[in-house]
Amino acid sequence: MPVETTVILADSFETLSSAFDGASVLGIPFDPNRLPEIQSQAKNLELSELGIRNEKAAGLPSISAFYTNQRNAQRDAFDFLGEGSWYPIQLVGVQMNIPIWSSFGGKEKVLQAQLTRDRAETALEQFTQAAALEYRAARSEYNSSLEQRIQAQRSLDLAERILNRTRIRFQEGLASSFDMTQAQNQLVNAQANFAQATLRWFNAHLRLERSLNA
């Protein structure tokens, strides 16, 4: 954004605060299965389990059966449309395939598939623990920022009351201009602290929502 661009504030702290419902987000129980990262890792683990079953099935014996039925004329001349005799031939068979020479290679593939499964299981556990730690950190940050915002609001209210009393005393000649300036500076500092505390609360609220995928 260029420096000369005029920035117009469209929302106030009150408007933004109304959009953040802390009670609702704090009432959501933590469930790592709602997070896209956990869902992706769980799917990888499921696929790796299927990979083990597939490699084990590849080393199992296989059996197949077949059946054919045909008729042959077995004639010297081409008269298939005639009334000559037809000789039926039926063939039934069973074929069995037992992988003997490839058994060692099959065991190696099964071990590789099991290693892939173990890695996927470890990754899922790590992602789950990391998500739980992030949720606890986000919840702690939210509670801390909320308490800081409440304290900043109290300090702001106190600074406003002090300024109002100082203004009355100044009009009655009981306070100097220095007292008036000091009270105004205290109010400005309180307003800045409240703005910073509110911003930290907004960010903490968003972080907590992301940790819950809410």
Higher-confidence position of 88 and 158: 158
- How many CB atoms are closer than 10 A to CB 187? 20
- Closest by CA to 208, choosing from 129, 131, 123, is 131
The pLDDT-based confidence of 116 (bands split at 50, 70, 90) is very high
**Nearest of 148, 136, 149 to residue 17 by alpha carbon:** 149
Q: What is the pLDDT of residues 59-85, one digit of tens each?
A: 777 788 888 988 777 666 666 666 667
Q: Identify the pLDDT of residue 15.
A: 76
Strand positions, DSSP E, the chain: 62-72, 87-97
Helix (H, G, I), strand (E, B) or coil at 183: helix
Task: Report d(CA 198, CA 206) in Å as an integer.
Answer: 12
Question: Contact at 8 Å (CB) between 154 and 192?
Answer: no
What structural domains and CATH numbers belong to the chain?
22-76+83-212 (1.20.1600.10)
- List residues bridging with 88 in a β-sheet: 71
pLDDT tens for each residue of 13-67? 777 777 777 667 888 899 999 999 999 999 999 999 999 988 888 777 778 888 8
Give the integer Cα–Cα distance in Å for 199 and 88.
Answer: 90
| Model-wide pTM > 0.95 | no
